[in-house]
Structure 1
Amino acid sequence: MQPYHSAVNYFAHGLPWLDHPYVVAGTAVPDWLSVVDRQARVRARTVQPHADVSGPEDAQLAAGILQHLDDDQWFHGTRGFVEVTGAMTRSFREVLGPGDGMRCSFLGHIVTELLLDRVLIDQHPGLLDRYYDVLEQVEPEFIEANVNRWARQPTRQLDPFIPLFLSERFLDDYSDSERLLRRLNQVMRRVKLPSLPRDVLSVLDEGCVLVSDRQEDLLPAEQYPGLS
């Protein structure tokens, strides 16, 4: 089992909630499940009745899950996301060739998200360590038990996966294009797409500048609280 992902913003989702460990964990749950057990998907309608940021730990976990689902809904609908993913897709196509459309579209989407985490991590020195420290405070067994109350079907994969996610710390690699490429190729293998050549390093570097320039369009202030 590998602690990698298809398309996530772990740090962006969790950053506003670092004072609430179980909310942070909740913001990661949908993506953890997408890695370890896609059948155990959580739905807003089953989580909503249990959610309360100020409530007990299970209510905070539910609130974090709802926050993630809400974040995804508005984020993927922003003008910034549509335009940046389009630009990233074209950049990958220029390197990989016009006959590689599916992989380029997939990369345009996930790399936009990974580079947004990269930009936020670079902007907030020390907070990635705090993100992991916060998640070290949660109980994986407790998280799995509560997710199984709300998920479409139960899973036994979440409890063992969370410590692996914490020990691997792959978010550390986002700030270096060489290491990010290695992580991307792990994703490519997991989704059964061809590995990426080193030629895409220039796309990652240029994409980081683009994402930084369009950050306000990707994370509108009226939608994303950041650290305020």
Structure 2
Amino acid sequence: MGTVLPDLLKNADKTINIQPEKFERHEHPFVDSILDGWKRHLEVDRYFHNSGFFKHHSHELKKALKPATEGSPVKPFFLGHIALELLLDNLLITTGKVNVDTFYDHLHNTKQEHLHSFLIYSKLSNPDVFFKYLDDFKKHRYLSTYTDAAQVAYALKRICMRVWKDPFTPEQEAMLTEAVLNYRLLLLPEFMTVFDDIGARLD
């Protein structure tokens, strides 16, 4: 739960900005366990976004997706960044590196009172907003849709719709899907290198 919590909170409400990593450790072991996962997420993010892999592939994806953004308010750099992360999610799931059922089991097995204690400790003013989102996230099992590479392009569109109204025409959506599917094939042989590299740095 701790390792995915920063992303879940941002998806629940993009205005949420808590920084529990700056606080002293909590006396409750479950709160500390979530905090360890939170810190791990930040550390992985820092390595990933500064890696040669991320810089190269987000740039190449930006170029591959740029034709689909002509006349659209969506910035190709933003698209390249998000598309790479979504494609990595898809590849982890479709190659069996991550088991979706196990992932959701972990979320379900986290007791709400422990998570609530962590959020209060982190000075989140209204945890109810987050818990409503979390219940929806667990119920609909969004990650299960990532087994279909075409759904990656759909997820990309949905993320853009949080920022821009009607960001793509149907023709642009088709171009997005084609570019995403093609780039997935390019990534497939080498995508684990970035995870191996980060794992070696953190161990």
Q: Does 1:49 align with 2:25?
A: yes
Return the offset for 1:216.
Answer: 4.2
- Equivalent residue in structure 1 for 2:188, among 212, 223, 226: 212
Selected match of 1:80 from 39, 53, 77? 53
Q: How big is the shift at 1:102?
A: 4.5
Q: Which amino acid aligns with 1:224?
A: G
Aligned with 2:110 (options 127, 130, 138): 138
Q: In 2, distance between residues paired with 1:32 and 1:206? A: 29
- 2:150 maps to what in 1? 178
- Give distance in 1, aligned partners of 2:127 and 2:14: 9
Higher CA-based Rg: 2
**For the structure 1 residues 45 and 62, does the alpha-carbon distance in structure 2 shift closer, same or farther, using more than 3 Å as the test?**
closer
Cα RMSD between the aligned structures? 2.6
- What corresponds to 1:224 in structure 2? 199
Q: CA deviation at 1:27?
A: 1.1
Which amino acid in 2 is paired with 1:79? Answer: G
**Greater displacement, 71-80 / 133-142:** 133-142
Deviations 1:9-44 (A, max 9, x none): xxxxxxxxxxxxxxxx11111111112233432325
Shift in Å, 1:192: 1.9
Corresponding letter in the other structure for 1:88 = L
Q: Deviations over 1:51-75 (max 9, x none)?
A: 9xxx822111111111111111111
Asked if 1 retains the 8 angstrom alpha-carbon contact of 2:9 and 2:16, the reply is yes
CA contact (8 A) 1:144 1:158 kept: no
CA gap 1:47/1:129 in 2 versus in 1, 3 angstroms: farther
Q: What are the Cα deviations for residues 84-108 of structure 1, in whole angstroms up to 9, with x where unaligned? A: 00000000013333x5585321110
After TM superposition, the structure 1 = structure 2 runs for residues 37-186 of structure 1, keeping only pairs within 5 Å, are 37-43=13-19, 45-47=21-23, 49-50=25-26, 56-97=29-70, 100=72, 102-124=74-96, 127-151=99-123, 153-186=125-158
Q: What SS does the aligned partner of 1:58 have?
A: helix
Cα distance in 2 for partners of 1:156, 1:79 equals: 39
Distance 1:116 1:207, change over 3 A: same
The answer (yes or no) to whether the contact 2:65–2:79 under 8 Å persists in 1 is yes
TM value normalised by structure 1 = 0.75
Q: How many residues align?
A: 197
How far apart are 1:80 and its partner, in Å? 0.3
**Structure 1 residues 211 and 151, CA, compared in 2 at 3 Å: closer, same or farther?**
farther
Q: In 2 relative to 1, CA 46–69 (structure 1 residues): closer, same or farther, beyond 3 Å?
A: same
Any idea what SS the aligned residue of 1:60 has?
helix
Between the aligned residues of both structures, percent identity stands at 22
Helix, strand or coil at the partner of 2:100: helix
Is the 1:116–1:212 contact (alpha carbons within 8 Å) kept by the matching residues of 2?
A: no
